[in-house]
Amino acid sequence: DPEYRIHVVGGASVEPTLWNSLRYGVFTVVSILTTSGFATAVYEDWPAVAIVCLLSIFMVGAMAGSTSGGIKVIRVWIAGKLMFRDIEREFRPDVVRPLKVGRSIISPDVRVSAIVLVLFTLTLAAAGTGLLKIFEGADGIDLTTASSAAASCLANVGPAFGRVGSDDHYSWLTSSSKSVLIALMLLGRLELFVVFALFTRRFWNRG
């Protein structure tokens, strides 16, 4: 599109040169991965492929052990390897191959923990999206805004897409919706298992 320009936060725009594309693209990815909350470009206007990639980064997050949010790369990597291994079992049922990341063999407990956390995160993001649609009404919030807001808060990213994008804010949401997003941020920051363990009877009956 010869008329396309990269819109910058604040109302300005720049030419979509290779340097500008790399500059704003790399900054946006780093900002999302580090959950710093900074934004320099209105990335909601970017091509659909770029938006899908950014939303995926929202959920995946950075490396394990970092202070960033998201599922973490290693857990997604383990879940992906498990998926491909089970696909292979469909046509090679007799194959027994240990699951490895690099040279390290992944124990069954770690595999289960990774799968459960991935499913748990996706379930919470879907539940948060549904609650936002309920509290804001069917016409009060679109699906892109609701789903990206839930994913962004669960991953502690900050800006999302739609009406809560890089040049927008969350202040227009109702108090009930804000409470949902606050709960998602708390769960995402403190790790899901840690927070939900506090609400189990067995945790308080230890010893």
Under 8 Å between Cβ of 61 and 69: yes
* Predicted pLDDT of residue 170: 93
* Predicted pLDDT of residue 131: 96
Please, is 88 exposed, middle or buried when counting C-beta atoms within 10 Å of its C-beta (0-12, 13-18, 19+)?
exposed
CA distance 38 to 11: 16
* Predicted pLDDT of residue 69: 81
* Predicted pLDDT of residue 10: 84
- For the stretch 89-99, what's the b/e string if a residue is b when 16 or more beta carbons lie within 10 angstroms of its beta carbon? eeeeeeeeeee
Amino acid code (one letter) for 206: R
Under 8 Å between Cβ of 61 and 71: yes
**What pTM was estimated for this model as a whole?**
0.84
Rounded average pLDDT per 10-residue block, the chain, 207 residues: 83 90 93 88 89 87 80 89 86 82 86 89 94 91 92 90 90 95 90 79 75
